[in-house]
Amino acid sequence: MKKGNKFGTHRVLEPQGVLPQPAEKIDNTMEIYDNEILIEVETLNIDSASFTEIKNKAGGDKEKIKERMLEIVEKRGKHHNPVTGSGGMLIGKVAEIGPALAERDLAVGDKIATLVSLSLTPLKIDKIKEIRPEIDQVDIEGKAILFASGIYAKLPEDMSETLALAVLDVAGAAAQTAKLVKPGDKVFIIGAGGKSGMLCLHEARKRAGVSGQVIGMGHSDASTARITELGLVDDVIQADATEPLEVYEQVYDLTAGKMADIVINCVNINNTEMTSILTCAEGGKIYFFSMATSFTKAALGAEGVGKDVEMLIGNGYTKDHAQISLEILRENDKLRKIFEKLY
């Protein structure tokens, strides 16, 4: 059996010398190296920004969505959307484990969710069985490869697989929120009625405490209603995240001009950087979990309005993020019921 690199560089075809994520094309031959795990894939959870772009380009037509997904994987050897640059994650059953990984707490037949992006995961799709556009999930017949450096979580027994997948897909957001928010903080969450946003609301409320202020913003009537229903916020805003001045004025009024110590951006559309920047207090922090974020727009935008803020890239991984996010559904029955209804 061939020996592989820990980070999967042995799979890179174009261009040589880069890691699998930024690579234009990787080898998706489903014969494993000594340090890889072969997975029989059941469901792909496509990144929200990526699926929204694919769905919009296909005009919502499921057959065209299938064609685009198959085209991406055929060209790149992975589900790496060339427009958004993002991927998603998957759940499946372990089919084979390379001998170099024999000591791991994992066995053939275990059901796992990968916690690394599809944008770096060798993937082969044999058949797309079902598309669930309302939750960005696609059931397939196919296989995938997990590198030695790839992280994963065994699926919990106290919730459905699709529910666990929905949570684990955005696990980094809530876990990072838990690290960022301190007692007494003013926290503003953009996209608070979405999947990642609702998990962040729970952690923000928990960490900011009674002395803090949590403001949640939704765009649609449905997402704004979910924010209100959860009962985790002090204030709710319904607005368009691409209209920075409108949102700024509302946050200004709600915070008596102090603005938010922590801004968390969870939306899946472009051009929301300035809304995040303007609503953040001087010396505050912005966590851009959204994969639609433009580093250039954020950096130059903050400079342009003279805002001294710390901007954090939405790292999808932080220590214990899977456990933290799954525990939220165990702690918050109201949130769990909403997730079960939606996902």
Q: Is residue 31 part of a domain?
A: yes
Instruction: Specify if 322 maps to a domain.
Output: yes
Does residue 28 sit in the same domain as residue 149? yes
Q: 144 and 176 share a domain?
A: no
Can you read off the two tokens belonging to residue 334? 């109201």
Residue 165 forms part of a structural domain: no
CATH number, residue 260: 3.40.50.720
Angle at 21 between CA 107 and CA 86, to 5 degrees: 100
Does residue 166 lie in a domain region?
no
Measure the N-to-C terminal CA separation of the chain; round to a whole number of Å.
40
- 3 is a domain residue: no
67 HSE (CA, 13 A, CB side): 8
Please provide residue 130's backbone torsions phi and psi, each rounded to the nearest 5 degrees.
Answer: -155, 140
CA distance 127 to 53: 21
Radius of gyration, alpha carbons of the chain: 20
Is the CB of residue 21 less than 8 Å from the CB of residue 147? no
User: Are residues 248 and 306 both part of a single domain?
Assistant: yes
Structural domain includes residue 4: no
What is the C-alpha separation between 278 and 2, in angstroms, rounded? 53
Q: How many domains does the chain have?
A: 2
Question: Is there a contact between 187 and 261 (Cβ–Cβ < 8 Å)?
Answer: yes
Per DSSP, 18 falls in state S
Domain that holds residue 135: 9-159
pTM over 0.85: no
Q: Is residue 275 part of a domain?
A: yes
Question: What's the order of all strands across the beta sheet hosting 152-154?
Answer: 123-132, 137-146, 37-46, 88-97, 111-114, 152-154
| Whether residue 139 is found in the same domain as residue 251 | no
Alpha carbons 166 and 273: distance in angstroms, whole number: 25
d(CA 163, CA 68): 26
| Pair 185, 328 in one domain | yes
Residue 150 is assigned to a structural domain of this protein: yes
Q: Which domain-ending residue is among 139, 159, 179?
A: 159
Give the domain-ending residue among 129, 159, 189. 159
Q: In what order do the strands lie in the sheet with 186-190?
A: 235-238, 213-218, 186-190, 260-265, 280-288, 310-313
In tens digits, the chain (343 residues) has pLDDT values of 899 999 999 999 999 999 999 999 999 999 999 999 999 999 999 998 899 999 999 999 999 999 999 999 999 999 999 999 999 999 999 999 999 998 888 999 999 999 999 999 999 999 999 999 988 999 999 999 999 999 999 998 899 888 888 888 888 899 999 999 999 999 999 999 999 999 999 999 999 999 999 999 999 999 999 999 999 999 999 999 999 999 999 999 999 999 999 999 999 888 999 999 999 999 999 999 987 889 999 999 999 999 999 999 987 778 889 899 999 999 999 999 999 998 8
